[in-house]
Amino acid sequence: MSQPPLFRPPVKILLQILGAVVFACAAVGIVYFSRMIFQNGILLSLAASAALLIPIHFALTTLAHRIIVKSPAGHDSLRNFNRRLITILDIAKLSSFVTVHIKKICDASSSAFILRDENAPQFRVCAAEGIHHVKGRTLAAGGLASWFGTHQNSVMRRSRRFSRRAAAIRTDMDMLSAELCVPLCIGGRLIGILTVGKRHDRRPYTRSQMMFLHALSDEIAIAASNARSYNDLTRTYFETIESFASAIEAKDAYTRGHSDRVTAISLAIAQTLKLSQEHVDTLSYASMLHDIGKISIDGTVLNKPSSLTSDEMSIVRKHPAVGESIIAPIAFLSKARHVVRHHHERWDGKGYPDGIAGERIPLLSRIITVADAFDAITSSRPYRRARTHKEAQHEIIQHRGTQFDPVIVDALMKVPEQQLTTGN
């Protein structure tokens, strides 16, 4: 009797696995290297660094694409998935991107992206496609997360071993309408789970497809880890910048709380103007940090009770440009840097540091200019008392079209008194 042939994995699959391993090692190295560099005060862009790996990754994975993708449209979808995956550094956007594209690539009825909570030992559904009602839910104790904590192989509903799984695993898979579940691991540590529902053609997932999803799961795990690491780095950097802002206010007793008030008033104006969320986020950062450059100014100048000399005024007028230079290295503040630089420009072009006028001044800078003036007028100074909101509004209206953008002034006048009081 002839012996059955030995199982020989297709070369394509081996290439895919090799590609994933190389990609994983390189990308994890980048994360580690970024952290080491950040400790020395430099923020390395993970997106730019990871982009260097794309040519290597594509060369090693192209031959494997046909394992589960048969049509030209499918190839395009998978290429776009690989290209975009390593450039997304926002964990919410990454979660949504993964679920949408994995569902499409697998031609599945649903998909879900589950991550371990950063501050609690539980796993939560971050995004779901085709089963939107499960978003935000946590997995059952002793369920999939517990299984993948000790077994890093996939779980498929139609497998012969599925009936022997713990009831909690079946409960999780029922909740997720999951046909196939794949662990997301970094260095042997479970950080998340990827699930897909039944295929539209109702056929079971093949071994090759399972292996392919495992290879993709390595890349997805790296991308999720990168996004969280990047968020941690930027959060730490931003907290440092916030401490700088607090240090400035500690130097200047008469502007304590100024940054918070200017931020609140600026956001109230933005709400009146119905600005996009992206603009609101940038405005929030820029308004809180608009005076960060004052950290370079001697406290005796900042706290001087009398008028400043021309030399002292020249020093003070440098703070917007200094502020821009401080936040320039921070990638996620790239849109805020120009706002900070121009928050002392005037509508008529007589401001500083660049003397630009009108709509050449960034919109968000024009908003901060008005909010900054309103808070200055309604705050006490050594040489004058704090004026009322009505008095401040009257003075700002007098400079409408000269110092201030008329549109922003009109928006300030529409802000409810309660919001101005909260801001102040």
In this structure, are residues 292 and 244 in contact, taking their beta carbons and an 8 Å threshold? yes
Of the pLDDT bands very low, low, confident and very high (cuts 50, 70, 90), residue 25 is: very low
Of the pLDDT bands very low, low, confident and very high (cuts 50, 70, 90), residue 77 is: low
Spatial CB neighbours of 121, under 8 Å, sequence gap ≥ 6: none
pLDDT at 78: 64
pLDDT at 249: 73
- The predicted model gives 277-287 an average pLDDT of 93
Per the structure block, which two tokens stand in for 169? 């695993």
Higher pLDDT, 52 or 388: 388
pLDDT at 387: 92
Q: Could you identify the residue written with the tokens 């918070």? A: 260
pLDDT at 26: 43
With the C-alpha atoms ordered 97, 103, 109, 115, is the resulting torsion angle positive or negative? negative
pLDDT at 76: 58
Of the pLDDT bands very low, low, confident and very high (cuts 50, 70, 90), residue 68 is: very low
Buried b (16+ CB within 10 A) or exposed e, 201-237: eeeebeebbbbbbbbbbbbbbbbbbbbbbbeebbeeb
Of the pLDDT bands very low, low, confident and very high (cuts 50, 70, 90), residue 423 is: low
pLDDT at 27: 41
Cα(349)–Cα(370) distance, integer angstroms: 15
**% residues pLDDT > 70 (the chain):** 77
The answer, yes or no, to whether residue 367 has pLDDT greater than 80, is: yes
The answer, yes or no, to whether residue 245 has pLDDT greater than 60, is: yes
Query: Over the stretch 312-355, which tens digit does the pLDDT of each residue have?
Result: 999 999 999 999 999 898 877 899 999 999 999 999 999 999 99
In this structure, are residues 351 and 344 in contact, taking their beta carbons and an 8 Å threshold? yes
In Å, how far from its chain's centre is CA 4? 54
Per the structure block, which two tokens stand in for 316? 């003070």
Cα(68)–Cα(49) distance, integer angstroms: 29
Higher pLDDT, 100 or 52: 100
Per mean pLDDT, which range of 48-57, 225-234, 269-278, 388-397 is the poorest?
48-57
Per the structure block, which two tokens stand in for 34? 């970024």
Cα(44)–Cα(46) distance, integer angstroms: 6
pLDDT at 255: 67
- The predicted model gives 148-176 an average pLDDT of 78
Average pLDDT, whole number, for the chain?
A: 80
Per mean pLDDT, which range of 87-96, 175-184, 244-253 is the poorest?
244-253
Give phi and psi for 143, each to the nearest 5.
-95, -135
Cα(405)–Cα(419) distance, integer angstroms: 21
pLDDT at 99: 94
Query: Over the stretch 103-148, which tens digit does the pLDDT of each residue have?
Result: 988 899 999 999 998 777 789 999 999 998 999 998 877 888 888 8
Report the residue count for the chain.
Answer: 424
In this structure, are residues 68 and 108 in contact, taking their beta carbons and an 8 Å threshold? no
Which of 45-54, 107-116, 376-385 is predicted most confidently?
107-116
Domains of the chain: 11-231 (3.30.450.40), 252-423 (1.10.3210.10)
The answer, yes or no, to whether residue 73 has pLDDT greater than 80, is: no
Helices (H), 143-188: 144-150, 167-175
pLDDT at 71: 45
Higher pLDDT, 195 or 15: 195
- The predicted model gives 284-305 an average pLDDT of 88
Listed as own residue / partner, the contacts of 129-133 with beta carbons closer than 8 Å and 24 or more positions apart are 129/99, 129/100, 129/102, 129/103, 130/103, 130/177, 130/197, 131/176, 131/177, 131/197
Higher pLDDT, 157 or 287: 287
The answer, yes or no, to whether residue 66 has pLDDT greater than 60, is: no
